[in-house]
Amino acid sequence: MSARPSLFSRLPDKLGVLIAALVAVGTMLPLALLRANRIVPGEALPIWQALPAFQAGILIVALLICVIASIWLRVPGLRLGGAIGGVAILLVLMGQAGGYLTPAGNDLARVSPAAGFWLLLFALSLTVTDALAKMKLRPIWRILGVLLAGVGLLLLLGSGQWDDLSVLREYQVRSAAFWREAERHLLLAFGSLSAAVLIGVPLGVACFRVPRLKSAVLNLLNIVQTVPSIAVFGLLIAPLAWIAATIPGAARIGVSGIGAAPAMVALFAYSLLPVVSNTVIGLENVPGRIRDAAFGMGMTRRQAFMAVEVPLAFPVILTGIRIVLVQNIGLATIAGLIGGGGFGVFVFQGMGQTATDLILLGALPTVILATASAVLLDAVVEISESSATRTMRA
């Protein structure tokens, strides 16, 4: 056994073993699904049937390298590089499978990623997240990473690699609608967030100043937060989903009297609690001795508020905004149900037509947007609290 320090650890990494198991199962499961058209059941194909022999070989070798790296490789940077390489190869070859499996000149046949692809993607992403967590990257690098991942995704889609896959087939026939709904989705998420910040932060400050107001407002918002999950979801969504499922096209024309405005109101109501309560908590967490120092130096109420309380509460308020943004990007999907537009339109149309590809066309961008904003805002929160709160908590 070699005595010098090596890149490899002698003991297998526990998470690495789990990932290896996932990859092994993922390799066995079908990589792609080939169907004669978008709604009939299809034929599930494993890697060696979904790809030409040479490319199948590349994919299997790449996966093997990733498994070995995640079990024995000790340096997180190398594990990260390996896993990112694995993801890239998997994504590109998935696109290749699309071209390979689609019969020439057949516009109806659909090739879509199957269970094996998703499991492999999940396993590799797990390696990426684990390596990133171990590397404890500075926020600025995390922001850069998200931007790079975005560029990578654009390159993949722009290069036409995935054009033969079912999700993009769905996109190609409704690209105008896709961008319209994308714009609507962002408008819903960010619009309701802005309104919640504009109203919630001042309301939070008022609650902090007036304890009686605080308990009243927070109780009310807590009720708002829970009622819709029972009432709106139960009373509104179920029948609307039923209509969308039974009457084709019903969701698309929209139910009269329901649209973007009520969706906006609902999202806004959901957003208020995190913004208000984080504002209150942020201000309450400013240590008494620091507030005393501010007044003791001769600051007026206003000066102490602007120069001391706001900067020290800012990271906590920002955390509230992060919660709301991620939550709203997800919740805005529901707007599709009540004619409010957004990516939810595709999800519910897809559910109505049992067209999985269409559901994915709505769900994937939502998930990607939510994940990206979570990582970005976490990084910004960390930057904002760097020096301010470290001593405060100590």
Partner 1 sequence: MIELQSLTKIYDGVTVVDDVSLTINSGEIATIVGTSGSGKTTLLRMINRLVQPSSGRILIDGEETSSIPAYELRRRIGYAIQGHGLFPHRSVGRNIGTVPRLLGWKQARIAARVDELLDLFGLEPGEFRDRMPHELSGGQQQRVGVARALAAGPNILLMDEPFGALDPIIRAKAQDDLLAIQRRIGTTIVLVTHDMNEAISLGHNIAVMDQGRLLQFAPPADIIARPGTPFVEALIGSEDRPFRMLALQRVRDLIEKGPASGPAIDAWANARAAYAELLWSGREAAPVQEGGAPVGRITRAALQSQAEKPV
- The least distance separating partner 1 from the CB of residue 298, rounded to whole angstroms, comes to 3
How many residues contact partner 1, by CB under 8 A? 23
Calculate the dihedral angle through the C-alpha atoms of 219, 225, 230, 231, rounding to the nearest 10 degrees: 90
- The least distance separating partner 1 from the CB of residue 159, rounded to whole angstroms, comes to 46
- C-alpha span between 145 and 84 (Å, rounded): 11
* Beta carbon nearer to partner 1, 257 or 298: 298
- Side chain identity at 344, as an amino acid letter? G
- The least distance separating partner 1 from the CB of residue 382, rounded to whole angstroms, comes to 15
- The least distance separating partner 1 from the CB of residue 209, rounded to whole angstroms, comes to 18
Q: Which tokens hold the place of 207?
A: 């609650």
- C-alpha span between 127 and 86 (Å, rounded): 10
Calculate the dihedral angle through the C-alpha atoms of 139, 140, 141, 142, rounding to the nearest 10 degrees: 50
- Scanning the structure block, which residue is given the tokens 């079908």? 30
- Side chain identity at 369, as an amino acid letter? L
- The least distance separating partner 1 from the CB of residue 289, rounded to whole angstroms, comes to 4
* Beta carbon nearer to partner 1, 212 or 289: 289
Positions in 265-294 near partner 1 (CB under 8 A): 289-290, 292-294
Q: Which of 225, 108, 253 is nearest to 169 (CA)?
A: 108
- C-alpha span between 95 and 55 (Å, rounded): 12
- C-alpha span between 350 and 357 (Å, rounded): 7
- The least distance separating partner 1 from the CB of residue 309, rounded to whole angstroms, comes to 11
Q: Does 186 bind partner 1 (CB under 8 A)?
A: no
* Beta carbon nearer to partner 1, 242 or 295: 295
CA distances from 315 to 191, 312, 352, 380 (A): 21, 7, 43, 9
* Beta carbon nearer to partner 1, 205 or 313: 313
* Beta carbon nearer to partner 1, 4 or 289: 289
Positions in 37-56 near partner 1 (CB under 8 A): none
Site string for partner 1, 217-236 (x = CB under 8 A): --------------------
Positions in 365-394 near partner 1 (CB under 8 A): 387-392, 394
Return all residues near 307 (Cβ < 8 A) that are at least 6 apart: 294, 299
- The least distance separating partner 1 from the CB of residue 387, rounded to whole angstroms, comes to 5
- C-alpha span between 322 and 380 (Å, rounded): 9
Strands 43-45 and 110-113: unpaired
Q: Is 391 helix (H, G, I), strand (E, B) or coil?
A: helix
* Beta carbon nearer to partner 1, 52 or 311: 311
- The least distance separating partner 1 from the CB of residue 313, rounded to whole angstroms, comes to 11
* Beta carbon nearer to partner 1, 130 or 309: 309
* Beta carbon nearer to partner 1, 212 or 390: 390
Q: Which of 369, 361, 363 is nearest to 162 (CA)?
A: 361
- Binder among 295, 354, 364, 367 for partner 1 (CB under 8 A): 295
Return all residues near 298 (Cβ < 8 A) that are at least 6 apart: none
- The least distance separating partner 1 from the CB of residue 297, rounded to whole angstroms, comes to 5
* Beta carbon nearer to partner 1, 74 or 291: 291
Site string for partner 1, 299-318 (x = CB under 8 A): xx--x---xx--xx------
Q: Which residues bind partner 1 (CB under 8 A)?
A: 289-290, 292-300, 303, 307-308, 311-312, 387-392, 394
